[in-house]
């Protein structure tokens, strides 16, 4: 009984805890409540993941209203993995949030911060579990609006403009998505994804459907920060509070990407999206451009948070490329990279949270001698960096391997080569930072390691990068299962 309602609980738990956070008399209590809600959500996700692995899809009609009239939540091999990573990253980030946020946001606004965080989490989880196209839009808005708030709470006043920029772009994206969903409703008379998919074959290849696909792809593209629609992302990541950067970078774009996968493969289907419409070519070109351009920009970026933001744009390119290949191997690579990239970016931004906490700056030149001043932070940063580069025995390596393998198997030689060149650019921008960090520090620089509650979360994610680079049953194994589920007969 309870197992069937779990998917609803995962959304409701943070949603209900959110308003309670404001009511807490002390900031510390709201932090604790947020952490508990997030961990509960993670525990539910783990349980759901295990259930789906053993028994297959779990369908829960909301309020007992049967689909296609009522909204239903569907947990399947694809979104159970995304849920796992979203709630997991949220919990780890919240662990380090207390100290970091104490320093970056004044205590009167902290309860609001945790409220926004939980709303965002609830929105992201909602987007993943829902089986209803319009409901997905609603949750998308919940997560987006709360993330604008989260970003605007950054110390730097530029956070306000960054947030506003994101708001404008995000709203355009959301509008496109609602238009797309509207077209779908127009053509099929249904909002339930599975139902739309069944009804579509009759009406497919009409101008309406083609426009729906276009609107949805562009709308999601804005949310994903697909090149060249990524302009909101660097500032948003750079000026948001440190833990927010970690949370948003590791989850928000990934969930949007998941939604795109859902629309393309489940609703429109492989045949329409990739055979009748030229999505493969469009996405592949944009993806490769993202990898090359964003990586090059990252090389010249002095603010490390911005550098990592551009690196995210490039990494999103890899994920899109996997979708563009549109084979089982490609989609496996894409989903595995969603998982792996969350681990590496989460670890990198959390390590930077330690740096911000102790040094107060993330400009490259201020980090001279970090390897002596904050050796443990440096260690976590280095491990995650190696994973980002795609060093063997880290999670990053496995996703790179899968992607290149998929590209070669599809006969995309040039693309495979460009992916590898892109990872060399990553070596350049990462190593520029590492090299400065290992320079001998100035004479009077004290050893100023971050407190354990900031270090531990960064290290949890850093070690996860190694674990999931060697024992890949969870990330790659289930990514493969998800790809088979999504593509069905198409190999």
Partner 1 sequence: MLAAIMLPLIGAMLVLLAAARPNLREFFSIATAVVLCVDLVWLASHVFDGDMPSLVLAEPIPGFSLTLAVEPLGMLFALIAGFLWLVTTIYAIGYMRGHNEQNQTRFYTFFAIAIAAAMGVAFAGDLLMLFVCYELLTFSTYPLVTHVGTPKARAGGRIYLGVLVGTSMSMLLLAIILTALEAGTLSFVSGGIFSDASTTMMLGMLLALFVFGIGKAALMPFHFWLPAAMVAPTPVSALLHAVAVVKAGVFSIMKISIYIFGIERMATLPAAEMLGYVAGFTIVVASLIAFSKDNLKARLAYSTISQLSYVVLGSLLAVQAGVIGGTMHIVMHAFGKITLFFCAGAILIATNKSKVSELDGLGKDMPWTMTAFFIASLSIAGLPPAGGVWSKWLLAQATVETGQWVLLSVLLVSTLLNIGYLLEIPVRGFFKRSIDDHRYNEAPATCLLAIGVAVLMTVLLFFIPDPLYRVASMLVR
Task: Give the residue carrying structure tokens 């940063």.
Answer: 381
Among 74, 341, 373, 480, binds partner 1 (CB under 8 A): 480
Site for partner 1 in 300-359 (CB under 8 A): none
**What are the contacts of 361-365 at 24+ separation with CB within 8 A?**
362/303, 362/304, 362/305, 363/302, 363/303, 363/304, 364/302, 364/303, 364/304, 364/307, 364/432, 364/433, 364/436, 365/302, 365/436
Task: Give the residue carrying structure tokens 């060093």.
Answer: 391
| Distant-in-sequence, close-in-space partners of 331: CB < 8 Å, separation ≥ 6 | 261, 265, 322, 323, 325, 482, 483, 486, 487
Q: CA 201 from chain center: how many Å?
A: 31
What is the smallest separation between the CB atom of 409 and partner 1, expressed in angstroms? 6
Stretch touching partner 1 by CB under 8 A, among 196-204, 280-288, 341-349, 432-440:
432-440
Stretch touching partner 1 by CB under 8 A, among 81-89, 193-201, 289-297, 404-412:
404-412
CA-closest candidate to residue 453, choices 366, 359, 376, 373: 376
Stretch touching partner 1 by CB under 8 A, among 174-182, 207-215, 373-381, 474-482:
474-482
Site size toward partner 1 (CB under 8 A) is: 34
Query: In 130-231, which residue ranges form alpha helices assigned H by DSSP?
Result: 133-152, 158-188, 193-203, 207-224
Indicate whether 483 belongs to the interface with partner 1 (CB under 8 A): no
Indicate whether 439 belongs to the interface with partner 1 (CB under 8 A): yes
Among 48, 386, 462, 464, binds partner 1 (CB under 8 A): 386
Among 46, 214, 289, 408, binds partner 1 (CB under 8 A): 408
Among 169, 298, 416, 486, binds partner 1 (CB under 8 A): 416
What is the smallest separation between the CB atom of 330 and partner 1, expressed in angstroms? 14
CB 313 within 8 Å of CB 232: no
Gap between the Cα atoms of 146 and 95, Å rounded: 20
Among 170, 241, 269, 469, binds partner 1 (CB under 8 A): 469
Among 180, 219, 390, 457, binds partner 1 (CB under 8 A): 390
Kindly state the tokens that stand for 239: 């000026």
CB 482 within 8 Å of CB 408: no
Among 4, 424, 448, 453, binds partner 1 (CB under 8 A): 424
Among 106, 431, 451, 453, binds partner 1 (CB under 8 A): 431
Among 171, 203, 211, 405, binds partner 1 (CB under 8 A): 405
Kindly state the tokens that stand for 71: 């909204």
Indicate whether 138 belongs to the interface with partner 1 (CB under 8 A): no
Gap between the Cα atoms of 384 and 353, Å rounded: 14
Indicate whether 452 belongs to the interface with partner 1 (CB under 8 A): no
Cis ω on the peptide bond leading into residue 426 (within 30° of 0)?
no
Please say which residue, 30 or 398, places its beta carbon nearer to partner 1: 398
Stretch touching partner 1 by CB under 8 A, among 20-28, 294-302, 310-318, 430-438:
430-438
Stretch touching partner 1 by CB under 8 A, among 33-41, 43-51, 263-271, 408-416:
408-416
Gap between the Cα atoms of 141 and 121, Å rounded: 12
Indicate whether 441 belongs to the interface with partner 1 (CB under 8 A): no
3-state helix, strand, coil in the chain (%, to 5): 80, 5, 15
Please say which residue, 345 or 432, places its beta carbon nearer to partner 1: 432
Residues within the interface to partner 1 (CB under 8 A): 386, 389-393, 397-398, 400-402, 404-405, 408-409, 416-417, 420-421, 423-424, 427, 431, 435, 438-440, 469-472, 476-477, 480
């Amino acid at each position: 009984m309870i197992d069937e309602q779990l998917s609803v609980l995962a959304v409701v738990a943070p949603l209900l805890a959110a308003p309670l956070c404001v009511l807490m008399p002390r900031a510390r209590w709201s932090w604790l409540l947020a952490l508990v809600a997030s961990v509960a959500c993670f525990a539910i996700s783990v349980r759901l993941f295990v259930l789906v692995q053993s028994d297959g899809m779990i369908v829960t009609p909301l309020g007992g209203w049967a689909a296609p009239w009522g909204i239903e939540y569907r947990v399947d091999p694809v979104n159970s993995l995304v849920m796992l990573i979203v709630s997991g990253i949220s919990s780890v980030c919240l662990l380090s949030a207390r100290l970091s946020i104490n320093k970056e946001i004044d205590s009167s606004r902290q309860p609001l911060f945790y409220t926004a965080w939980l709303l965002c989490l609830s929105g992201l989880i909602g987007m993943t579990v829902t089986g209803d196209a319009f409901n997905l839009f609603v949750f998308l808005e919940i997560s987006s609006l709360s993330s604008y708030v989260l970003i605007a709470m950054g110390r730097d006043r530029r956070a306000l403009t960054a947030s506003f920029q994101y708001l404008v772009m995000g709203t355009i994206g959301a509008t496109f998505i609602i238009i797309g969903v509207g077209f779908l409703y127009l053509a099929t008379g249904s909002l339930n994804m599975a139902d739309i998919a069944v009804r579509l074959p009759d009406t497919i290849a009409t101008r309406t459907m083609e426009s729906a696909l276009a609107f949805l792809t562009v709308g999601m593209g804005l949310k994903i920060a697909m090149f060249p629609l990524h302009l909101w992302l660097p500032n948003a990541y750079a000026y948001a509070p440190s833990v927010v950067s970690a949370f948003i970078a590791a989850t928000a774009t990934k969930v949007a990407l998941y939604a795109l996968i859902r629309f393309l493969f489940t609703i429109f289907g492989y045949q329409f999206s990739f055979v009748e419409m030229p999505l493969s070519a469009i996405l592949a070109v944009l993806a490769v451009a993202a990898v090359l351009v964003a990586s090059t920009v990252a090389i010249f970026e002095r603010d490390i948070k911005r550098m990592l933001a551009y690196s995210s744009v490039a990494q999103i390119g890899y994920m899109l490329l996997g979708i563009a290949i549109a084979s089982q191997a490609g989609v496996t690579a894409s989903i595995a990279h969603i998982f792996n990239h969350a681990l590496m970016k989460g670890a990198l931004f959390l390590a930077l949270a330690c740096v911000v906490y102790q040094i107060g700056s993330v400009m490259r030149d201020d980090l001279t001698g970090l390897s002596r001043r904050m050796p443990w932070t440096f260690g976590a940063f280095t491990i995650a960096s190696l994973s980002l580069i795609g060093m063997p025995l880290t999670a990053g390596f496995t996703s790179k391997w899968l992607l290149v393998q998929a590209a070669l198997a599809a006969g995309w030689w040039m693309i495979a080569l460009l992916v590898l060149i892109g990872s060399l650019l990553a070596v350049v921008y990462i190593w520029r930072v590492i090299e400065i960090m290992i320079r001998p520090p100035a004479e009077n620089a004290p050893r100023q390691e971050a407190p354990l509650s900031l270090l531990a979360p960064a290290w949890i994610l850093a070690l996860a990068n190694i674990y999931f680079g060697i024992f890949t049953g969870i990330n790659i194994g289930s990514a493969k299962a998800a790809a088979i589920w999504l593509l069905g007969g198409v190999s």
